[in-house]
Structure 1
Amino acid sequence: MFSVRVNNANNRGNGVKGQAFVLGSGEARYDHNVVTGKFLLNKYFASVLFDTGADRSFISKNLSDMIKGTPTLLEAKYIIEIADGQIIEANHILKGCKLELASHILDIDLMLVTLGSFDVITGMD
C-alpha cells in the first residue's frame, strides 16, 4: 500500500537509500497526479501504478513468481524507507520485462519488493 518516491543517496557503501510515501489503491484512484490500471506485463494482467516521482520501478514478489522471470542479484542492495518509517530492501531485479501500453511494448527492469495494493509500480527509470 505505498507509492515509491525514491531519492538517490549513497548509504555509506551499504546500498542506495530511498524514501516512499503511503498511497493505497483507493487513495490513488482519486489523485489526479497518479495513473493506475490493469496492463499486460509479460502476458499477465497486472495492477500497475505509474508514479512519475519514482526513479525506479518495482514488482511484487507474488507477481514475479507468476511471470517466471529470472531475478538478477543487484550489485548493492536498494534500501527504501516508507513514510511510516518501515525499511524494506530490494536485492534482486527482473530485467527486460515487457509492459504493454496501448499496443506499445516497453522494456522495463523491475526490483522485487513486497507491495500491497499494486502488482507493479513504474517510475521514471
Structure 2
Amino acid sequence: MSESRVGDNDVMTGTFLVQSIPTLVLFDSGASNSFVSSELVKKLGLTDCVKVKLSVKVASGEVKSCNRLFKNVKIAINGDEFPSNLIQFDLDGVDVILRMDWLVQHKS
C-alpha cells in the first residue's frame, strides 16, 4: 500500500487491491458517489451490474451520464476486504474514486 496527498484539497490517493488487482484509488471528500473506470471494469471482467440513471457534473462543467452500478466490489486495505458499490465512469489517470465518507462508513 502506498499513500499520498494531492494538493491542499481533501483528496488522497493510494494503491490498493480491488478484486485482488493492484489499483490506483483516489479518496475524494468532494465526490458524491464512488466510481470505477471503464478500463478497470473490463480488466476485472465485471458484468453483473444494476442499471442506474445518474448525471455527473465534472470539473469542466460538462455533465456526463452513468448507467451501470457494480455492487460489492471488494477493496482490500491492510488485509481487510470491504464491499463497495461503484458506478462505472470514464476516469482519467485513476481507476477508482471513493467518497471520503467511504472511509468513515468502513471505519478505515
Question: Normalising TM by the smaller chain, what interval?
Answer: 0.7 to 0.9
> Is the contact between residue 28 and residue 97 of structure 2 (CA under 8 Å) also seen in structure 1?
yes
Helix, strand or coil at the partner of 1:62: helix
Give the fraction of aligned pairs with identical amino acids, expressed as a percent.
Answer: 29
> Quick one: distance in 2 between partners of 1:65 and 1:109?
16
> Quick one: distance in 2 between partners of 1:113 and 1:63?
10
The answer on 1:87 being equivalent to 2:84 is no
Helix, strand or coil at the partner of 1:95: strand
The answer on 1:45 being equivalent to 2:22 is yes
TM-score, L = length of structure 1? 0.70
Shift of 1:39: 0.6
1:19 paired residue number: none
> Quick one: distance in 1 between partners of 2:32 and 2:59?
17
Shift of 1:33: 2.4
Gaps in structure 1 of 5+ consecutive residues: 1-27
Opposite residue 45 of structure 1, the aligned amino acid is P
TM-score, L = length of structure 2? 0.80
Count of residues in correspondence between the two structures: 97
Shift of 1:29: 2.6
Opposite residue 98 of structure 1, the aligned amino acid is K
CA RMSD of aligned residues (A): 1.7
Moved over 3 A (4+): none
> Quick one: distance in 2 between partners of 1:78 and 1:44?
27
> Quick one: distance in 2 between partners of 1:46 and 1:31?
23
The answer on 1:109 being equivalent to 2:85 is yes
Gaps in structure 2 of 5+ consecutive residues: 103-108
